[in-house]
Structure 1
Amino acid sequence: MLALTLLSAFLAVGHALPLAARGLTNDSLAADLKTIAPTTATCDASAEYGNECRTNVQAAAPILNSFSKYGIDNVNERAAVIALMLYESGQFKYNWGHFLNGADQHEPGKGTRNMQSATFNEEYARTLFSADEVDKAKASANGADAVLQLVSPDKYSFASAAWFLKNKCDATQRTALQSGSQDGFQSYVTDCIGGTMDQDRIDWWTKAKAALAG
């Protein structure tokens, strides 16, 4: 009886632990991304800003590398990062922020796949490039966009969301996010990234969790 009680307690605790992510490869993540967002399978180069579009296959490697670089090992955190990028970039169609208050207008310095502000992109750039490189870009005629240009290549742009999670979300927010609860995801969106919660965000997060859980 005691053994059974201990086993039940162990299983209950184990069930409450954050869910570790299954092993991913570039191919398996590409397949997951297509499952989550089927439109990422193709890009229309003739579309407006079509040069910024990336397919699921093109996105997989830099996203997977970002998980490794920034220690994003929990499946629910990974799902949240992917959901954020899909939501903010129009399913990987945009790398720069082209829309402001409903109008086709670029906000200087805003971009990467999670559409970081100029302030965060400068901070991010300083973790990747020398101070001289960032200062030179910032001092140019279009300073904020010149800094954004530094972090626009795929290997940086698809990694900024993971960088932000690691460096800007506090331990309480991350623990809640790791639990997989909607409250945890909402705290990530509203309290950490400063976004507005809506049904589209929930839908992307739900699809991402299901796909990554395998």
Structure 2
Amino acid sequence: MPSSPRIDKGEGFIRAHDLLEELQSDIHRAYETLENDSESQYLRRFVVRATFSFIEACIETIKLEVRSNIRTELFTPDLTDKEKETLGSLHVIGDRRTDKQLPLDANIKRTFRLAAKIWGLDSYQLTTSGEGFVDFLRSKDARNRLTHPRTYYDIQVTDDDMHCHMIAYQWVLGEFSRLFRARVEDIARSLPPKDGKRLLQGSGV
């Protein structure tokens, strides 16, 4: 299996769409497998890891798009120090050694807010007032215990944890889809009506 892009075959450096599609497939397969042995802690932990791989890839995909827009001067915003810290390196792939690792909840809030600012999406605001965000925070705490265990109980994934992980996945996926839908609609409004309609139809919006 390739561990680096085959540029001679037309492969991209990131392949963000393929990345998200593959990670979503992992989540679906993880749940399907878990149905056959719902009490398996091993399989439950696999669901957690697959879920948070997808969540973190969503955040990085947004940053990738924002970095690209700034590099190509499609947008030339005046970024605050906090926003620069959120975005990290403007290279195609950020330098993980120098990019600041933000807590996941802060990373999500700041990344979505920054994308809405860069893209001028006045109609979009991350929804953090409902049950989805609360369950996301609970899910994140359970994931942190799992990945940095201190006791045997830290690696046990409870039924309540599983509920929160499912809601966290649905909440992030929903917000990610809503953000990009708002962006596509905004781009469509800037095009001639016929082209805008074609864009909306092609994107499934």
Q: TM-score, normalised by structure 2?
A: 0.29
- The structure carrying a bigger helix percent of its residues is 2
Q: TM-score, normalised by structure 1?
A: 0.28
Q: Which is bigger in relative contact order (C-alpha 8 A, separation at least 6)?
A: 1
